[in-house]
Amino acid sequence: MMTALRGATTVENDTPDEIRMRTLELYDRLMEANTLEPERIISVVFSVTEDIQSAYPGMFLRLERGLTETALMHFNEMKVTGSLQKCIRIMIHYEGKTPKAMVYLHGATILRPDLKG
């Protein structure tokens, strides 16, 4: 069985350090909330708004969380008038059944106010 988990966060500034900090925070919270085992992650998909250009979020999962054998992919989010800016979204495809706790942090809580994390 495969499960998909979603989450999102925002950055205040488009800097590699802030993208790193917020990406790792989001990933760690998703892992903890769902008691995931890193070796059972099939793939991770990121989408970012067009105003995030200084670093790939997935780079920090490879470097600091050891996801060197996991497929990681990045996309730009659709441009929609009035949509949330400086947003990093993540979808983790996971082998196994999990509670599916989604995590939305910082400015991204407006996307899913029912899931404030």
pLDDT digits (tens, 9 = 90+) for 87-100: 999 999 999 877 77
The model's confidence at residue 116, banded by pLDDT at 50, 70 and 90, is low
Instruction: Give the span between the Cα atoms of 106 and 71, in whole angstroms.
Output: 26
pLDDT in tens, 34-59: 999 999 999 999 999 999 999 999 99
CB 111 within 8 A of CB 24: no
Output the pTM of the full model: 0.93
Average pLDDT on 24-30 reads 97
